[in-house]
């Protein structure tokens, strides 16, 4: 029996939802090189500051970034969320998926009358 | 330099969005034990058939399930999507995240005037 990881469903919902957008994934990638202001994050995407700020809010709610006022700018850094639960869930799913294939293999082996 | 995986952003959006809901994750877990009809999937969740069908549509658009008419029922099975790209993206992110911590370690080591 494959054991499912126990984790807070709402946290997992927020983490996966935060990752379900290319711009937000781009922001996380950019922050991997160091903190950036909202203006710096907006520049490569061609988005408005308001647009980027909304994406940053979604990432912050998921714990994936933290923000801090520095003078008149808002500085954004990678947060404390390591996505361990998201990783664990996908690992769990892949085990289910492979077990299902093992089941099919066993079935085909059986119907061919051979043993392995 | 951490290399980012190349994958279709829209597929990745759909995969993460599909996973961002506890009911949909529950449906995938259930299907790991074998195919089920919409009615069978609805029973444990206490949701309406229409509600479950909408979740199944989201999962199907992401390639995570396939559906097939069997008589008057719609049978749902795990699909072909293994979530390899989603797994690769989270692995990429965790490397960025750890590298950032390595950077902080290096900084604190430096400010303490020790070398390592």
Asked if B28 lies within 8 A of A99 by C-beta distance, the reply is no
Compare CB distances from B78 to A78, A87, A97 and report the shortest one's residue: A97
CB atoms B87 and A94 under 8 Å: yes
Q: What angle do CA A87, A90, A93 make, to 5 degrees?
A: 150
ipTM of this complex: 0.84
Q: Is a pLDDT exceeding 60 seen at residue A114?
A: no
Average pLDDT of chain B is 87
Q: What is the mean pLDDT of chain A?
A: 87
**Residues B50, B35: Cα–Cα separation, whole Å:** 19
Cα B114 to chain center, whole Å? Answer: 43
Domains of chain A listed by start with CATH number = 9-114 (1.10.10.10)
Q: How many CB atoms lie within 10 A of CB B64?
A: 25
- Per-residue pLDDT tens digits for A40-93: 999 988 899 999 999 999 999 999 999 999 999 999 999 999 999 999 999 999
pLDDT digits (tens, 9 = 90+) for B65-86: 999 999 999 999 999 999 999 9
Taking the whole predicted model, whether its pTM rises above 0.90 is answered as: no
Which one of A9, A17, A28 has the shortest CB-CB distance to B17?
A17
Q: CA angle, corner A22, sides to A45 and A6, nearest 5? A: 140
Q: With contact defined as beta carbons under 8 Å apart, do A41 and A56 qualify?
A: yes
| Residue B59 burial class via C-beta count within 10 angstroms: exposed 0-12, middle 13-18, buried 19 and up | buried
CB contact under 8 Å between B97 and A19, yes or no, is: no
Q: Best residue in A87, A93, A94 to probe B by mutation, most B CBs within 10 Å?
A: A93
Judged by DSSP in three states, A64 sits in: coil
CA dist., res. A100 & res. A90, Å (int): 15
- Distance in angstroms (rounded) separating the CA atoms of residues B107 and A30: 20
pLDDT of residue B44: 85
State whether B29 and A4 contact (CB < 8 Å): yes
Beta partners for residue B69, in sequence order: B74
Distance from CA of A111 to the nearest CA of B (A): 18
Alpha helical stretches, state H, chain B: 9-19, 22-31, 38-45, 49-61, 84-111
- Whether the pLDDT of residue A116 is over 50: the answer is no
- pLDDT tens by residue, B10-26: 999 999 999 999 999 99
- Of A67, A99, A89, the C-alpha closest to B90 is A89
> Considering CB atoms only, which of B16, B96, B103 is closest to A19?
B16
Residues B45/B26, Cβ–Cβ less than 8 Å: yes
| Chain B contact residues (CB < 8 Å to A) | 2, 4, 9, 12-17, 19-22, 25, 28-29, 31-32, 34, 78, 82-83, 86-87, 89-94, 96-97, 99-100, 103
Asked if A27 and A68 touch (Cβ cutoff 8 Å), the reply is no
Interchain contact, B32 vs A91, CB within 8 Å: no
Residue A111 has pLDDT above 90, yes or no: no
**What's the farthest any 2 CA atoms get from each other in chain B?**
75
């Amino acid at each position: 029996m494959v054991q499912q990881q126990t984790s807070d469903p709402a946290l997992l919902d927020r983490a996966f939802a935060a990752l379900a957008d290319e711009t937000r994934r781009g922001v996380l990638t950019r922050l991997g090189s160091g903190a950036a202001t909202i203006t710096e994050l907006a520049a490569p995407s061609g988005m408005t500051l308001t647009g980027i700020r909304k994406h940053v809010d979604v990432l912050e709610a998921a714990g994936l970034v933290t923000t801090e006022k520095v003078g008149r700018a808002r500085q954004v850094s990678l947060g404390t969320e390591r996505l361990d639960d998201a990783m664990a869930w996908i690992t769990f799913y892949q085990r289910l998926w492979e077990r299902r294939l093992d089941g099919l293999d066993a079935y085909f082996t059986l119907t061919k009358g051979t043993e392995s």
